[in-house]
Amino acid sequence: MRAILLSAALAAICLPGWAADAKADNVNPDEIIRKFAAKEAEFRDARNNYTYRQTVKLQVLDSGGNPTDEAWDEVDDIIFSPDGKRGEKVIHAPVPTLRSILLTPEDTEDLRHVQPFVLTTSEIPDYQIDYLGREKVDEIGCYTFSVKPKKMETGKRYFEGEIWVDDRDLQIVKTYGKGVGTIKKIGDNQFPKFETYREQVDGKYWFPTYTHADDTLHFKSGQNVRIRMLVKYQDYKQFVGKATIKYGSVVDDKAQPPAPEPAKKK
């Protein structure tokens, strides 16, 4: 997100430091990371076969934390076309009333890929991952890790923060951090910290259901803008196409039309 001024719109695994804590917890972080990264790859492929509704609401707050008239909200359905292609259908998108900040392509990328963060086997080499210990998230026992990119490729978005991995299913159940990256265009871009929760919606995989951010963006110009954002992911249903395994509620693209009535004799 960029601040808007009068003159212009500015808008291989590395695990150092975990040995002592890991020994105290009697866990092997290397093995845990290997296993949950493989589960995350399965989860990503499974979620790509689901339809769902994504609701986003962003508000600018005043100094007292109250919503102003500056806002942006949108409702999209993630759907499949009759030929099986995945896409987005805009359901509700009023004209944004934002004036003190400007949404950028990086904000859109974070919304789609960083906030519902997935850390798969192929992405592990891009990150430094440090074991922090054990914690509970809503009574769920978890392994906690800090995550940050080892280096950043220009134009690519990354996650930096902490993740909580269910100690039974070995899947990410909570994420806290922010999107980071080297931006191609020169500007004053700032990104909020966010928290994403997952729920087990099909008895097997933990899917993102809720992302929340309440943070003050500090721009180089000296302008400080507090924002609040809420993202909901709802109504997960599995799309059924050719050779697709069914896990939960389904959406069938091969529904048969009713048989035509027989022609009447004149």
Please give the Cα distance from 114 to 158 (Å, whole number). 7
Are 51 and 79 spatial neighbours (Cβ–Cβ below 8 Å)? Answer: yes
Position 250 in a domain: no
Whether 258 is covered by a domain: the verdict is: no
Question: Could you list the residue range(s) of the whole structural domain that residue 222 is in?
Answer: 14-238
Residue 87 maps to a domain:
yes
Number of folded domains in the chain?
1
- Quick check: is 230 in a domain? yes
Residue 257 lies in a domain: no
Burial 192-227 (b: 16+ CB within 10 A, else e): bebbbbbeebbeebbbbbebebbbebebeeebebbb
Taking CA 41 as the corner, what is the angle to CA 166 and CA 174, rounded to the nearest 5 degrees? 30
Q: What is the pLDDT of residue 247?
A: 45
In-domain check, residue 244 = no
Of all helices (H) and strands (E), which one includes residue 42? helix 29-47
**Does residue 259 fall inside a structural domain?**
no
Q: Give residue for tokens 């990410």.
A: 172
**What is the DSSP pairing of strand 140-149 with strand 158-166?**
antiparallel
CB-based contact 1:217 (threshold 8 Å):
yes
Residue 81: the pLDDT is: 86
158 is written with which tokens?
């990354």
Strands 224-240 and 250-252: parallel
pLDDT digit string (tens) for the chain, length 266 residues: 765 543 333 333 334 333 345 666 788 999 999 999 999 999 999 999 999 999 999 999 999 999 999 999 999 999 998 888 889 999 999 999 999 999 999 999 999 999 999 999 999 999 999 999 999 999 999 999 999 999 999 999 999 999 999 999 999 999 999 999 998 877 789 999 999 999 998 888 999 999 999 999 999 989 999 999 999 999 999 987 654 444 444 444 444 444 445 444 43
In a domain, 243, yes or no: no
